[in-house]
Structure 1
């Protein structure tokens, strides 16, 4: 997939062409106003990370949809949001565009699934939705290509049910600045809450897959990955990070001695956050540092676990009594992360101690990183780790027990030794992560509804017979 920087150049050329076509209808001043509005919409689309979902990686045209979003309830395909009248949103009015963004309702009245984070976008201002509309209508190339249709199992395929879900969980209101907070904090709250939709990933979900408002930014599962607690708690969250470190992480995806971005966060940085102005990133950092602290009982920060160890070199040459995880670490990990796990001086390969992935109180992200690797491009430079769980991308594919062995070796020598990984944990991650309650109940929902329907019919029949007797 083209990077946002390449897309930016392409879109600017498209903007010029669109404005040239519109020029006959207005004055030079009007054209300048249109150009400014389109450019504002382009910046907002990057901040909202629209390309990450609506552009299929490597092969897809910009915003033409088709990207498969694997959810616990089934695969949801992102729609075509180019100005194509046949397959995109080209015939949407501004009001219909706003309804899709804010209420999750398409032009035809069908409901969108909240994989499209309208529960966050509902906070967008009228001015910003108008700018986004101008950009997608006049700054994006129309692609007459239909996106695959989403087909979820019953009853999740009933889009009308989302009306009930929205009535229960959608807070359909615009962002209102907090008068007790600074302008910078309010700017950060708008960027993080409305545009970057941080809570959509970093807040846990309830049984009906809605955000748990009692634990905002307290961490949430994303299939095999886990979006960590980013509240202001000093141990469980990011309270012990400095604002400068948070800005660096959001811009580059790495902070030495703390964290490296992988999975969904790497995508957010690659396609969106790295392109935000420094003042916007600082506003997000300032906002996060003053959020309500959500504690999950950790006694020290995730990045404060582990230390360098000579165990890798000490075990070399032993004929017996060799840790199974050491064999894998020595053969597949030590060459890049170094024998004592300090990483490389240029930080291309991070340290495995003082690392939020190995110091967490759960191993989701460590397992997922081993299985699926790391692949993010920042400032034109790729940061890559092979996917050891994928036979198609790596010849020495590791089995579930092997991944568990090397994960436990890393945790016991360099990370949070209290965390243990089983082969079953790896198998679950490889399959897409632990299914939520709603997904596990799905096979029983149809039979249960059938039983309810039969009972209702019997009650109606019984009542009818009783009335005839009287």
Structure 2
């Protein structure tokens, strides 16, 4: 059969139409996969926790964040074109994420952890951009102005700060390490921005170390009246007694045989790490366990001792029931046990818990006063969250019971002073109080 010109054109048009349709379908499928990838990466970066105000729409901003000179508020990062980032190009998005510069050219405060996000590679930035543009519901909500005096609110000094402290290089794999270690380092140092909380800061509020090549990285730090834990290999206050499996379990469940999450780490567990793949969590654990004990010149860590030599005395004007041991019996023993071992994965152990051995007792005091949020794993809330005792225990009571706990069952840490509890109570009281 001889094909005439009309029939040839018809067949050619059908073929071209099929190819265009196939290419379009493949493009849509590719974009769909990238959007899904971007959603996962946003969970790794825990974007929702910082960019969602209590009771507010997801990613619409408004969460207050403390700075040395006052408070700023997280911004609307939904794709709303009027109040969010809907008009951002991918280049604009990358510059804000990795350089801390908004579309209109103003510098973002370093409360936005762009000093860590700068390490994120181009492929992941692209996936994140597609997700925020096409996978997030736009919300019209104007950004709240910083609660900072006009003189201190000027942004131009941030340019100088960036020139001094911003390392603008994307993460480069270490050839001397395996693929799992490099993946863990990329997540911890980059999108996971663990150092933003767990690394001490200098006089200019800069992180003293941005990766494991410098001492002090992830060695623990005071932030928002909590002490973010030491994540290095310190046997006393860090992860020295943990296995990689212990680290993975903690990130997946919010607790393990050594400790339980508290403070802002509860949000990290709820909204970030429990939704990460086991492979990525194992990579993080592998990397963290490779870090040597932090040797921060700001604070010295005591060597671990297996048995306590510290026995808090009972003041002469106090009865045994009112002493730290008596207070422990009344308020703590039912959950944590007479031996301080708690109940694995349900109630935090007090014996050799690294947070109890930390020199800075801020987290212990804050936790005793106010309790902690509830970890929710796959929709199931934790059965025994730490309750608040601030209303029923005095500053002296809390100081004494913490002193007793920090000196019992093989623990060996300094006494907690009553004035430290009073100061924390004052700093953290609600406006209604």
**What TM bracket, shorter-length normalisation?**
0.7 to 0.9
Q: Which residue does the alignment assign to 1:410?
A: 405
| Secondary structure of 1:210's aligned partner | coil
**Alpha-carbon distance between aligned partners in 2 of 1:24 and 1:423, rounded to the nearest angstrom:** 73
| Secondary structure of 1:255's aligned partner | coil
Q: How does 1:52-451 map to 2 (within 5 A)?
A: 52-57=49-54, 59-153=55-149, 155-213=151-209, 214-256=215-257, 258-295=258-295, 296-300=300-304, 320-344=319-343, 347-375=345-373, 376-383=375-382, 384-389=385-390, 396-414=391-409, 416-432=411-427
More helix by proportion, 1 or 2?
1
**Alpha-carbon distance between aligned partners in 2 of 1:76 and 1:124, rounded to the nearest angstrom:** 24
Aligned-pair distance for 1:141? 0.2
Instruction: Judge conservation of contact 2:233–2:290 (CA < 8 Å) in 1.
Output: yes
Instruction: Judge conservation of contact 1:102–1:123 (CA < 8 Å) in 2.
Output: yes
The 1:297–1:421 alpha-carbon spacing in structure 2 relative to 1, beyond 3 Å, is closer
**What stretches of structure 2 of length at least 5 have no aligned partner?**
1-19, 210-214, 429-433
Count of residue correspondences: 392
Instruction: Judge conservation of contact 2:237–2:354 (CA < 8 Å) in 1.
Output: no
Greater shift, 97-106 or 66-75, is seen at 66-75
Question: What's the CA shift string for 1:399-434, capped at 9, x where partnerless?
Answer: 32232222223223346444111122113323448x
Greater shift, 323-332 or 267-276, is seen at 323-332
Match of 2:35 among 38, 60, 64: 38
Aligned-pair distance for 1:227? 1.5
Instruction: Judge conservation of contact 1:219–1:227 (CA < 8 Å) in 2.
Output: yes
Instruction: Judge conservation of contact 1:305–1:355 (CA < 8 Å) in 2.
Output: no
Question: What's the CA shift string for 1:165-186, capped at 9, x where partnerless?
Answer: 1111011111111111111111
TM-score of the superposed pair, with normalisation by structure 2 = 0.84
User: Does the alignment pair 1:47 with 2:47?
Assistant: no
**Alpha-carbon distance between aligned partners in 2 of 1:29 and 1:108, rounded to the nearest angstrom:** 35
**Alpha-carbon distance between aligned partners in 2 of 1:368 and 1:71, rounded to the nearest angstrom:** 20
Q: Which residue does the alignment assign to 2:14?
A: none
Aligned-pair distance for 1:272? 0.5
Aligned-pair distance for 1:273? 0.7
| Secondary structure of 1:146's aligned partner | coil
Q: Which residue does the alignment assign to 1:448?
A: none
Question: What's the CA shift string for 1:55-90, capped at 9, x where partnerless?
Answer: 123x11110111112344322211110001111111
| Secondary structure of 1:385's aligned partner | coil
Instruction: Judge conservation of contact 2:320–2:326 (CA < 8 Å) in 1.
Output: no
Question: What's the CA shift string for 1:135-163, capped at 9, x where partnerless?
Answer: 00100000001232212235431122111
The 1:186–1:328 alpha-carbon spacing in structure 2 relative to 1, beyond 3 Å, is same
**Alpha-carbon distance between aligned partners in 1 of 2:96 and 2:113, rounded to the nearest angstrom:** 10
**Alpha-carbon distance between aligned partners in 2 of 1:146 and 1:26, rounded to the nearest angstrom:** 39
**Alpha-carbon distance between aligned partners in 2 of 1:86 and 1:250, rounded to the nearest angstrom:** 37
The 1:32–1:322 alpha-carbon spacing in structure 2 relative to 1, beyond 3 Å, is same
The 1:105–1:349 alpha-carbon spacing in structure 2 relative to 1, beyond 3 Å, is same
Question: What's the CA shift string for 1:367-415, capped at 9, x where partnerless?
Answer: 12112212222232323222223xxxxxx34332232222223223346
Instruction: Judge conservation of contact 1:54–1:64 (CA < 8 Å) in 2.
Output: yes
**Alpha-carbon distance between aligned partners in 2 of 1:321 and 1:430, rounded to the nearest angstrom:** 25
The 1:220–1:427 alpha-carbon spacing in structure 2 relative to 1, beyond 3 Å, is same
Q: Which residue does the alignment assign to 1:454?
A: none
| Secondary structure of 1:69's aligned partner | strand
Q: CA RMSD in A?
A: 2.7
The 1:135–1:28 alpha-carbon spacing in structure 2 relative to 1, beyond 3 Å, is same
TM-score of the superposed pair, with normalisation by structure 1 = 0.77
The 1:305–1:238 alpha-carbon spacing in structure 2 relative to 1, beyond 3 Å, is farther
The 1:350–1:289 alpha-carbon spacing in structure 2 relative to 1, beyond 3 Å, is closer
Aligned-pair distance for 1:252? 1.2
